[in-house]
Structure 1
Amino acid sequence: MNIRPSALDAAVRPGHVLRVDDVDGVALADLVDSVSVELPVFLDHRGPGDRTAKDVVREILDALEEIVGALFPDWLPGHESDLPIDADDAEQLARALCRQNGFPSPAVIHLARAAAGARRPGSDPADDARAGALTFLLRQGYGRDSVVLAVRADAALPDRAQRAAAAAYEWLADHANLTVWLTADALPAVTRVPSMRIGIIPGGERIDPTRPADVPVDPSPASALPVLIVSRPSGRPAPHSAAEQTLERALANAPWARDRQWNRSPRDLDPLDPAVIVDLLWSRERVVVEVDGADHRGPVKYARDRRRDNMLQRAGYLVLRYTNDHVLDDTALVVAELAAVISGRSRPTAPSRPTSTHPPTTHEENPWTTPS
């Protein structure tokens, strides 16, 4: 995907709601898949549904708190990732973080203690303090300067629901210090927002703003997409993905899995091929694991997945695909299969010539010898 940096800069305006006419569901998925630190942190909101503005705000803040909790303790300064952090240590590091950045500390301390496993003392922070603290910690966790909440929604929502959603997004833009993007066909009844184009060219083709978002085909409730999908964090499982988080916990103490890499690009692909970020990678064994949500059953992503798999297989990678449901419902079986694959591809190459414990007596009995 190619983006004109100056156009992207103009479209990142914390505190504002914008309509970005050349970002549809497919382009947004590409932006979320990127691990570039030069991009904002993208939050892909596939809502909002027919709800009140307050309900939309709470839904997004609750989902964002889960994401920030999954990133813990990456957003704390001076943490040792291999060592456990208790609630008191988390509080001290959170206070230091707030002092360094001049950020009010109470809501951040509350979130840090909760992420460290402490009981929630007293009442939760007010929504406005919570919103600001969550996006502050999200920026810290990713090491990026800005956050974009990009919205794709059913164009057939009643006008009252679209107006309620617009009010929610205006509140979030203001109180969470982020930019809200309405994608090409989201909330068409909301017209009093600035419109712009950022010149996205995914895979060499310019976006058609009328193209429908890539949607899953009849997902079951267990396969439902999360409220928010967030940018991939390089080296970590996706914080919005319960399946990736579950798989990582299962692999964390397995010696055979120690060389795993989350959300990285294989380094030895043909430079003429498009760059790809894979969910889970073992470079030495040349094994790629993809953990697919329900949206991978949509026609656009399904076709892209096949092209990516073919490219990786031509480069000698074994590509294994599991659905979210498969990982969540039978984690032990998935881990056992991965252990067998990694073990099998870690063994030295078998000798190409037959061996024998007894020396041959004639040339005819051993075709690998050279006659004298």
Structure 2
Amino acid sequence: MIVADVPVDRVVSLPDVDIDELAHCLAAEHGELAPLVSRTPVIGAGPGAFAEAAVAELERAAVGLLPAWLPGVGESRPDLGGLAAARLLAAEVARTSRYPRAFLTDLAVLALTGRRPLRLPPLRIRARELTRLVAQAFGRRRTVLLVGGVGGDDVVAGAEWLVSNGGPAVWLLGAGNDRVPVVRLGRPGRGSVAEAGRPHPASAVEAALEAALARESWASGRRWNQDYRSNELTPPVRLDLWWPAERCVVEIDGPEHCRPDRYELDRRRDVRLTLDGYAVLRFTNARIVHDVGAVVHEIGTFVRAQRRDTTEGQ
């Protein structure tokens, strides 16, 4: 079975799949699912506690993706005038996109100020609307919650409640449970692993950039999707595109890179690579799709300059 065939209308277990690898696959490909990773679900506190924790994950993701679901809010300031403008904007988006008005306006205030409303909507409404909002922000049709490391009855019951109430699809990774079907994703057919040295098989963006680079003589020496580590004590990181000799790293950022946790992780990677003597060039999926020529020109300018500097320094 391939990733695209995994059911989204019920809770399933994928015991043999790495959660980070699957999240990367779903984020990189132009599919219908927006992945959301949950590493520390509530265990032993009942199904309701798991559902609450899952909705909190959805809320954190929605807050981090604020510009994507409320265009123009960046112009608002978190003072009284700015908040009033943000609430009006959220109310208009709620009207046109059929979200509950109070839900969306309160979420906008939370994202801008950190303040929660005194009264929250019922959990089922928050689960349903946050699920839809996160998928919309990622440009996908549905959100899938990837739950790592557990598969107990409370987790399964809470996950089933989410799915039945319009919440995200829930895939349990790392542990099985007799109550839910087990899905096996075999390596040869799942299309979720990028082969070292080649573009990701599920990424149309990487394929488009590779096609453009293949026409350029200066682009020789490039390596796709290879692991890099600073030293023996640091964990490896997967680089999207790499010119080792020219010490140039190109990273391709999908919508998931807007999330605060992912943004912080990216910055840490960039600092580590910079300290190791690499330049990091970042491009969004949208820019590559709409202006791949300019992206190739920018990369080429840097790579050729590095080669000239190396030649002159000999």
Q: CA deviation at 1:71?
A: 0.9
1:88 aligns to 2:84 (yes or no): yes
Distance in 2 between residues matched to 1:166 and 1:55, nearest whole Å = 12
TM-score of the aligned structures, taking structure 2 as reference length? 0.60
Query: Are 1:180 and 2:177 an aligned pair?
Result: no
Distance 1:271 1:40 in 2: 34
Alpha-carbon distance in structure 2 between the residues aligned to 1:313 and 1:131: 44
Taking the aligned partners of 1:22 and 1:82, their CA distance within structure 2 comes to 42
Q: Please report how far the alpha carbon of residue 22 of structure 1 lies from its aligned counterpart in structure 2 after TM superposition.
A: 5.5
Counterpart selection for 2:181 from 194, 209, 216: 194
My pick for the range that moved more, 53-62 or 131-140, is 53-62
Question: How far apart are 1:20 and its partner, in Å?
Answer: 3.7
User: How far has the Cα of 1:28 moved from its partner?
Assistant: 1.9
Distance 2:120 2:63 in 1: 15
Q: Provide, for residues 136-170 of structure 1, a one-character-per-residue CA deviation record: whole Å limited to 9, x for no partner.
A: 22022111101111222157xxxxxx111111111
Higher helix share: 2
TM-aligned CA distance change 1:149 to 1:88, over 3 Å: same
Pairs aligned (count): 248
1:69 is aligned, of 63, 74, 96, to: 63
Query: 1:45 is matched by which residue type in structure 2?
Result: S
* 1:312 aligned onto 2:302: no
Taking structure 1 as reference, are residues 70 and 25 closer, same or farther at Cα in structure 2, changes over 3 Å only? closer
- Give 1:112-131 correspondences, 5 Å limit: 112-117=108-113, 119-131=115-127
Contact 2:73 2:86 in 1 (8 A): no
Residue 54 of structure 1, aligned match among 43, 48, 69: 48
Instruction: Please report how far the alpha carbon of residue 174 of structure 1 lies from its aligned counterpart in structure 2 after TM superposition.
Output: 2.5
Helix, strand or coil at the partner of 1:196 = coil
Q: Return the TM-score normalized by structure 1.
A: 0.52
The alignment's C-alpha RMSD in Å is 4.7
* 2:134 alignment counterpart: 138
Equivalence for 2:156: 166
Say which one has the larger Rg.
1
Helix, strand or coil at the partner of 1:54: helix
Equivalent residue number for residue 44 of structure 1: 37
- Residues 94 and 105 of structure 1 are in contact (CA less than 8 Å); yes or no, is this contact kept in structure 2? yes
The structure-2 alpha-carbon separation of the partners of 1:276 and 1:179, relative to structure 1 and needing over 3 Å to count, comes to: same
- 1:159 is aligned to none
SS of the aligned residue for 2:86 comes to: helix
Q: Percent identity?
A: 25
Shift in alpha-carbon separation, 1:182–1:318, aligned structure 2, 3 A: same
Task: Letter of the 1:83 partner, please give it.
Answer: E
Preserved CA contact (<8 Å) 1:43 1:148: yes
- Structure 1 partner of 2:8: 12
User: How many angstroms does 1:103 deviate by?
Assistant: 2.9
Match of 1:25 in 2: 19
Unaligned runs of 5+ in 2: 196-204, 251-260, 280-301
Q: Which runs of 5 or more residues in structure 1 are unaligned?
A: 156-161, 206-233, 235-264, 279-289, 355-372
2:121 counterpart letter in structure 1: P
Tell me the SS of whatever aligns to 2:162. Answer: helix
How does 1:262-273 map onto structure 2 within 5 Å? 268=213
User: 2:312, 2:18 → 1: CA distance?
Assistant: 57
Contact 2:2 2:191 survives alignment (8 Å): yes
Query: Would the alpha carbon gap of residues 73 and 273 (structure 1) be closer, same or farther in structure 2, given more than 3 Å must change?
Result: same
Q: Does the 8 A contact of 2:39 with 2:147 survive in 1?
A: yes
**Aligned-partner Cα distance in 1 for 2:109–2:50:** 26
Deviation per CA, 1:116-138, whole angstroms, max 9, x where unpaired? 22743422333222222211220
Within a 5 Å distance, the mapping from 1:186-265 to structure 2 comes to 186=175, 188=176, 190-197=177-184, 199-203=189-193
